[in-house]
């Protein structure tokens, strides 16, 4: 057994309130962003992040294993999503012999256009749901808190959430 009941450092009332709010944030934000993307562009949030990752990658290509790590999707989930993006003509799979016997996902010109068309609505929704709700100081504190949590919860993602000026 991990520990006795007496050894547990339970959250105090204020910590519990903040924790419940944090859980509510994680439960509410992604579905709201997903709904906007589906409604306005036909993409889900996972697919949008795949396109963003590819658009940010050199040559618009990433090995599927790197893309899975970036998106935190299982290989199966990523493969299904890339298949959907392929059938829309937004992504292609190609061999990437320069990094061994792996397959890369490559953003097509049509995929880049789709991302460019989807981005303004997505950014408007991010502003509506988060940026405009918080003061600049609160938003900066949220970003700093998120980076601290990611560094502990998933160190592999740490570099992805660092401010762009530090990369």
Q: Which numeric CATH code is attached to 19-133?
A: 1.10.10.10
What's the order of all strands across the beta sheet hosting 61-63? 61-63, 103-107, 91-95
Q: Which two structure tokens, joined as six digits, stand for 75? A: 């290989």
Q: What is the pLDDT of residue 3?
A: 55
Residue 113, CA distances (Å) to 59, 78, 89, 102 in order: 15, 21, 11, 26
pLDDT in tens, 43-60: 999 999 999 999 999 999
Beta strands per DSSP E along the chain: 61-63, 91-95, 103-107
pLDDT in tens, 143-162: 999 999 999 999 888 888 88
Note whether 86 and 78 are within 8 A (CB): no
CB neighbourhood size of 118 (10 A): 20
Q: Which two structure tokens, joined as six digits, stand for 139? A: 């938003």
CB neighbourhood size of 67 (10 A): 24
Cα(56)–Cα(51) distance, integer angstroms: 9
pLDDT in tens, 83-127: 999 999 999 999 876 656 789 999 999 999 999 999 999 999 999
| CA nearest neighbour of 66 among 75, 158, 115 | 75
| Average pLDDT of the residues in 22-46 | 96
pLDDT at 26 over 90: yes
Cα(60)–Cα(107) distance, integer angstroms: 5
- SS3 at position 91: strand
Note whether 78 and 70 are within 8 A (CB): no
Q: What is the pLDDT of residue 67?
A: 92
| CA nearest neighbour of 118 among 28, 67, 52 | 52
């Amino acid at each position: 057994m991990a520990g006795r009941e007496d050894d547990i450092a339970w959250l105090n009332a204020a910590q519990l309130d903040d924790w419940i709010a944090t859980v509510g944030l994680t439960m509410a934000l992604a579905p709201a962003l997903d709904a906007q993307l589906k409604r306005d562009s036909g993409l889900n949030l996972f697919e949008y992040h795949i396109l963003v990752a590819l658009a940010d990658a050199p040559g618009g290509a990433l090995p599927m294993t790197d893309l899975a790590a970036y998106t935190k999707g299982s290989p199966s989930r990523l493969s299904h999503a890339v298949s959907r993006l392929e059938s829309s003509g937004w992504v292609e799979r190609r061999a990437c012999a320069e990094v061994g016997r792996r397959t890369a996902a490559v953003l097509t010109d049509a995929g880049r256009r789709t991302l460019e068309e989807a981005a303004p609505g997505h950014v408007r929704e991010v502003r509506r749901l988060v940026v405009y709700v918080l003061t600049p100081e609160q938003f900066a504190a949220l970003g700093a808190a998120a980076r601290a949590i990611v560094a502990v919860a998933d160190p592999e993602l740490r570099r992805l959430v660092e401010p762009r000026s530090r990369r």
